[in-house]
Structure 1
Amino acid sequence: MKAAVLKAFGSPLSVESVPDPVLGTGEVIVDVVAAGMLAYARDVFSGKRQYLLELPIVPGSGGIGRVRAIGPDATRLSIGDWVMIDPTIRGRDDAVAPDIILQGLTAGTPEALRLQRYYHDGAFAERVRVPTENAVPIGAIDPADAGRWFALGRLLVPYGGLLAGRLLAGETLLVNGATGAFGSAGVMAGIAMGAARIVATGRNAAVLAELEHRFGDRVRTVTMSGSEEDDRRNMQRAAGGPVDIVLDLLPPEASASWVRAAALAVRPYGRVVLMGGIREDVALPYAWMMRYGIEVRGQWMYPRDAIRRLVGMVRSGQIRLDGFTVTEFPLDQVNEAVAHAAANAGPFKMTVVRP
């Protein structure tokens, strides 16, 4: 089969013939129809992000495809089923604290490298092997829409954070870092889950205005000034009442003070979910957290049942995928896709490779 291979950090991907994946018990082989290209894939492939990847590797974190072969333990899947290829693979030998990898992207921790060495290659290939539980049925779709259906991958990350924060219909949500790809998807997911008001923060005033235009009166925006006290006050003013939950999705280059501004805007007994990538430590006042029962938790990715729930929201019309602009590239143009994704990052834009 054909696949795109990363042989050395800093080198282009090489499209070449590689051995077909071999099916094992507890596994599924999927014919990849569409695989998403991350906006920061270039930084991963150059080594700038220092992700745990053992080369050579077929990258590609998740996709949409059709089941080609199933193992003897599959009781519901059938050959030809449309599935989402879930890249979040969890070790099966520790139910309490499993090691986790993102297939074709990173091992996450040194302990998870053993798992990555087995589920080594990702979705920038004609076929990919995944654990049975990572081929999640999405129902029948038009093959031409496969790229748009990969918007599930964009939505799943913030959706996992909102599930972790237990967002309830009627609550006020603050999405910190809403002008990026995942932050804007967090606004969309919050709307679908019934948030009464969403405060969206960021530095790009034009993107914030587009969020208000796209989602209407339930969204209020705050352009970050860099003054922690001013930003916190503006967030609370935009909320028009208590902020129940903060979902932080700030990128690596953001300041810890922006996290603090949002966290300190939450009401007593409110919740703060950290999903961003900032590299600084964040100091929060101990006495305030203790006295007011503030809940702060980190969240990486999403629970296993999140995909099925999200598919249900799409099928019911709570989430519309036609709001995403999709640019597609054949596998032979995978390096062009890497460049395009970097140059066209932002809300509701997706770059997709179609093997």
Structure 2
Amino acid sequence: MHAAFVHAFGGPETLSLETAPDPAPGDGEVVVDIAATAANFVDLLVIGGKYQFLPPIPFVPGKLPAGTVSAVGPGVAGLAVGDRVQTLAEQGGYATRVAVPAKDCIRLPERMSFVEAAAMALAYDTAWFALMERARAKAGETLLVLGATGGVGMAAVQLGKAYGLRVLAGVSSPAKAGLATDAGADGIVDLSAADLREGLRRQVYDQNGGKGADVVLDPLGGDFFDAAVRAVAWRGRLVVIGFAAGRIPTLKMNYVLLKNMEVSGLQVSDYRKRTPDLMRHCYDEIFRLYEEGKLHAPPTTTFPLDRVADALVTLRDRKAAGRIVLLPAGEASSRIA
């Protein structure tokens, strides 16, 4: 097989494209011929040695590849050669094949392509857990999504609408508002507006009958978190998903006390490890809503595996709208609307 290996932590250019022996399935495992794997921001952290969970070197990065089962090991029931699956593999996706525990494979809907599956993986399950498990969102509530045009943000906008919430999308500039409204947002909050501290709350109140948001999902952190805390409703819930803005914020607990609000965090990989049944339920819901036409994959740019460094640089430099997906068997880059 072909794979991109990490032999020393560093930037995208340190990845080494190599030929390696094909994996063989062990007890309870299947081998999956990988058709598509998303490039995620977390991959840059793993490759750079900056993530909290790091595999031993050398390793092949790439989370949650999608593909076709090509071999089945002893003790596997319920999967067969030829099954199209979404895997929950924590690494190994930047390759043409990977061995995965059968329990970490979920069959794809018939009409979902591998590119769609990869583009939705990690973003839509993260958004689902933030919205439905951590925030316990309910139909009729108002949801504010920060970073609404990012992978997790766009997924959260779609999921919020699918579950009957009113969705306000926080965008980095008015030019990106169309992406959020196309995903279903009911209103736009301009995060580039002057005086973010007061301006964010004012925009939320103006669009929500003079009240704050019942649920806030924050993948940004930094000044955006500081401003969003002020826009949370009484008994509201704010979920911290990440710190894409760079600064890890702190919180004055008087806001929590006076608003009777909750602030929680989400590390979604823990759910894959600790609550596999709940993770499977999450994907059942995502696939159900996809088949009902309530969810769709975001705009996607694809790269062949031999251009993995280019793909990661494009991701790092925020030069692609929507998601970036690697095609291990692909030969050319393309953009899929």
- Is TM > 0.5 for Structure 1 vs Structure 2? yes
TM-score, normalisation: structure 1 = 0.78
Asked whether 1:36 is paired with 2:38, we answer yes
RMSD over aligned Cα, in angstroms? 2.6
- Write the distance in 2 (CA, Å) between the matches of 1:78 and 1:339: 37
- Secondary structure class of the residue paired with 1:245: strand
TM-score (norm 2): 0.82
1:188/1:276 CA distance change after superposition, 3 Å: same
Tell me, in whole angstroms, the C-alpha distance in 1 between the residues paired with 2:282 and 2:227: 29
Match of 2:291 among 315, 323, 330: 315
Partner of residue 157, structure 2? 187
Greater RCO, CA 8 A, separation 6+: 1
Which residue is equivalent to 1:176?
146
Q: Is structure 2 residue 303 aligned with structure 1 residue 329?
A: yes
The percent identity for this pair of structures is 31
- For 1:295, the aligned partner's letter is E
User: How far does residue 313 in structure 1 lie from its aligned partner after superposition?
Assistant: 0.9
Q: Deviations over 1:225-279 (max 9, x none)?
A: 35423322222223334421111111xxx52x42132123222212111112254
State the SS of the aligned residue for 1:150.
helix
Is 1:299 matched up with 2:266?
Answer: yes
Deviation at residue 280 of structure 1 after TM alignment: 2.4
Which amino acid letter does the alignment assign opposite residue 159 of structure 1?
A: W
1:221 partnered with 2:203: no
Q: Unpaired runs of 5+ in structure 1?
A: 88-102, 105-121
Return the alpha-carbon distance in structure 2 between the equivalents of residues 148 and 46 of structure 1.
27
Residues 1:219 and 1:86: Cα distance change in structure 2 (over 3 Å): farther
The amino acid that maps onto 1:296 is V
Aligned equivalent of 2:99, options 123, 129, 138 = 129
1:269 matched to which residue of 2? 235
Q: CA deviation at 1:173?
A: 0.2
Unaligned runs of 5+ in 2: 272-277, 330-337
How far apart are residue 48 of structure 1 and its match?
6.2
The alignment status of 1:163 with 2:142, answered yes or no, reads no
Aligned match of 2:324? 350
Structure 1 residue 70, shift from structure 2 partner: 3.2
Equivalent AA in structure 2 for residue 314 of structure 1: Y
Residues 215/137 of structure 1: CA separation in 2 closer, same or farther (3 Å cut)? closer
1:55-74 CA distances to partner (integer Å, 9 max, x unpaired)?
21111111211112334444
SS at match of 1:271: strand
Query: How many residues matched?
Result: 312
Tell me the distance in 1 between the aligned counterparts of 2:195 and 2:320: 21
1:199 and 1:220 in contact (8 A); partners too? yes
* Separation of aligned partners in 2, 1:74 and 1:163: 31
Select which of 284, 302, 308 maps to 2:252. Answer: 284
Letter in 2 for 1:32: I
Task: Give the equivalent residue in structure 2 for 1:146.
Answer: 114
